[in-house]
Amino acid sequence: MFLCMSSTIFFSSIYLLIACGSVYGWGGDGHSLTAAIAQTLLTNESLAFVRDHLPWYTSGNISMLASWPDYIIYPDTNPVDYLNWQWSKELHYVDTKDWSCVYNRDEDCNWNTGRQCVDGSIQNYTIRLADTQQDEIQRNEALKFLIHFIGDVHQPLHAGFQGDRGGNSIRGHFFGKETNLHSLWDNIMIERRISQDFHSQPLLYLDYLINQMKTRYAQNTSDWTHCPSSDESRYLACSTSWIIEDAKLNCEIVYRDENNQPMSISKEFDLGQTYYNTRMVILEQRLIQGGLRLATVINKIVQSITDNNKSNKICFGTMMLFIALVCLSIVTLSLLIYSFLRRKTTRIMLLPTIKDKNEYIPVA
Ligand SMILES: [Zn+2]
């Protein structure tokens, strides 16, 4: 019965988030799908870990709270408390220089100059989650942010151009409906795909994406989960490299119309089937990459905690052995000293006492 309830919660929560969450970030769809892909790739230890660090009602289903960082910052989804979370708004994205086609971490996202961004936030929450000295509330929050931000960073326009606010200011029409470029990538293309090709059933689309990951992209998965830059190998998440991919995609694909012309604020776009057919493949690849990388990061964090616990146990064991050896040495030394002193005292006591020379009668 419990299993039955858990699976009902699992599927209904995905559906619920997908049904109501098409407003922010990747959109509820993108975040739920990315997290649901990741869920299938978690190790048993990671599944237990997420169960321990997410609220009980999720039963360890990371999709259920994948959009939480978006909900907390808006008054319509968090009317009482949204002001307290405004500091986290800038952690969802990074602005890159218009048509520079590169991401420069020192200039575009520098924690020291107060310019926070999704790159730094992924690193920050990765470190916090792996740090067992942090209190539980901080680590639980870190997990929820991490699930979301690794999704966000795979939506190319979350590393879009500064001048058009990541495509939000570029307006136009998609299949005749008014929208902006950012929303097109956040929700609209995904919604169209689910409704047209998967009978409006997000779970069928999830199955399709998982199947694509295991077949079409099976050869790519090890490359996608490996840090291409050696300076990033010290991190558990390679977010800088993922943003570099976004910057390239933006220049070559996202910001170009059906005639390969650059899109801008000054000209309304008019996009349809050609843009949808060619871009949807890239968008799906990003959803799969996001899921794969999210699972890899969580698995790495859990592995590093397990390794640390093991080495702490070994350290503790070695220390106890050392203390035992010291104690044993002290006891042995004390016993030696005691027996030495005792032998000396016995010998003195056994020697004849010569009180008077006359008493000594040498043997003839
Ligand atoms: Zn977001």
What is the extent of the structural domain holding 39?
2-314
CA of 130 to the centre of ligand 1 (A): 22
CATH no. for residue 269? 1.10.575.10
CA of 71 to the centre of ligand 1 (A): 9
Residue 27 inside a domain? The answer is: yes
Residue 207 inside a domain? The answer is: yes
CA of 247 to the centre of ligand 1 (A): 18
CA of 21 to the centre of ligand 1 (A): 12
d(CA 181, CA 320) in angstroms, rounded, equals 63
Query: Contact at 8 Å (CB) between 109 and 120?
Result: yes
CA of 129 to the centre of ligand 1 (A): 19
pLDDT tier at 237, thresholds 50, 70, 90 = confident
CA of 346 to the centre of ligand 1 (A): 86
Residue 129 inside a domain? The answer is: yes
pLDDT at 19 over 60: no
CA of 167 to the centre of ligand 1 (A): 15
Each residue of 23-81: pLDDT tens digit? 345 788 999 999 999 999 999 999 999 999 999 999 999 999 999 999 999 999 999 99
Each residue of 100-139: pLDDT tens digit? 999 998 889 876 666 689 999 999 999 999 999 999 999 9
CA of 239 to the centre of ligand 1 (A): 15
Query: Contact at 8 Å (CB) between 300 and 227?
Result: no
pLDDT at 271: 98
pLDDT at 12 over 50: no
d(CA 302, CA 116) in angstroms, rounded, equals 26
Residue 79 inside a domain? The answer is: yes
Residue 282 inside a domain? The answer is: yes
pLDDT at 331: 77
Residue 320 inside a domain? The answer is: no
Residue 95 inside a domain? The answer is: yes
CA of 321 to the centre of ligand 1 (A): 51
d(CA 7, CA 2) in angstroms, rounded, equals 9
**Domains held by the chain: number:** 1
